[in-house]
Amino acid sequence: MAKSDVKLIGKWSSPYVTRVKIALNIKSLEYENFEENETFNPKSDILLQSNPVYGKVPVLIHKDKPISESLIIVEYIDETWSSAPSILPSDTYDRAVARFWAAYIDQKWFPPMQSIITVEGEDERKPYFEVLEEVVERMEEAFEKCSKGKPFFGGDRIGYLDIAFGSFLGWLSVIEHEYERKVLVEEKAPNLVKWAERFASDPAVKGLIPETERLVKLSKALQIKWRAAICKK
């Protein structure tokens, strides 16, 4: 397969783009990377042409056909390059469970992180931290059931749910660093703490989760942008 057959439109900071990059690494696929401006100012022509409905990253282009939405892209990669290691569980029930928790993560995990960065004051941040802690509690329980005593949600190797959850570890470290409040702690989530270490050091992931200091700098710029957007409402 030629490298030009697969293109990825993304941003280095996006956990959703990181999901796709991990999936591509698992399948040992080469691809051409198109990096968007961090503030989307302006959005590139290739992004607007490839995802005219939302104008968001990531977008995977395979043989000139665009696919949008990170989890849909991960499933597409898994099904298209099926001869390489599987990403989704082979069992239909296990696949359904993995999809359920991945959807839960998208609904409950990143939105409160964004709110913590956006709002001002410790009291205003408190309810969003509580949501994060609730998610950690539920995912600790999910890990025990899904992993079946193995290193990852997906078993012996990284799978769909590992990718969905683990892609946010960089932004979680920003929240913990900036507001001096640990969310992923061994006392409450011993399995997840060890899992996060294994995930970040896995060959398919290593180097893809952005450095905390770099994300902190970006978060300060985004904080201004997001607060301004709230004021306009």
DSSP 127-153: HHHHHHHHHHHHHHHHHHHHHTTSSBT
CA dist list (Å): 44 to 50, 51, 66: 10, 11, 15
CB atoms within 10 A of CB 223: 17
| Rounded Cα distance, 76 and 65, in Å | 12
| Rounded Cα distance, 86 and 26, in Å | 8
| Rounded Cα distance, 135 and 108, in Å | 7
Please answer whether residues 192 and 143 qualify as being in contact, where contact means their C-beta atoms are separated by less than 8 angstroms: yes
CATH class given for the domain over 92-224: mainly alpha
Annotated domain spans of the chain: 3-80, 92-224
CA dist list (Å): 193 to 28, 32, 151, 199, 217: 27, 33, 12, 10, 25
- Find, among 114, 127, 123, 125, the residue nearest to 230 by Cα: 114
Cα dihedral sign, 12-16-22-27: negative
Structurally, what CATH architecture does the domain formed by 3-80 represent?
Answer: 3-Layer(aba) Sandwich (3.40)
pLDDT tens series, the chain, 233 aa: 556 799 999 999 999 999 999 999 999 999 999 999 877 678 999 999 999 999 999 999 999 999 999 999 999 999 999 998 999 999 999 999 999 999 999 999 999 999 999 998 999 999 999 999 999 999 999 999 999 999 999 999 999 999 999 999 999 999 999 999 999 999 999 999 999 999 999 999 999 999 999 999 999 888 887 776 666 65
| Rounded Cα distance, 79 and 154, in Å | 16
Q: Three-class SS of residue 38?
A: coil
Q: Do the two domains 3-80 and 92-224 of this chain adopt the same fold?
A: no
* 3-state DSSP percent of the chain in helix, strand and coil, to 5: 60, 10, 35
**Predicted local distance difference test score (pLDDT) of residue 225:** 76
**Predicted local distance difference test score (pLDDT) of residue 214:** 94
**Predicted local distance difference test score (pLDDT) of residue 3:** 60
**Predicted local distance difference test score (pLDDT) of residue 231:** 61
93 exposure class (CB count in 10 Å sphere: 0-12, 13-18, 19+): exposed
**Predicted local distance difference test score (pLDDT) of residue 195:** 98
**Predicted local distance difference test score (pLDDT) of residue 84:** 86
HEC sequence for 60-107: EEECCEEEECHHHHHHHHHHHCCCCCCCCCCCHHHHHHHHHHHHHHHH
**Predicted local distance difference test score (pLDDT) of residue 224:** 80
pTM of the model: 0.94
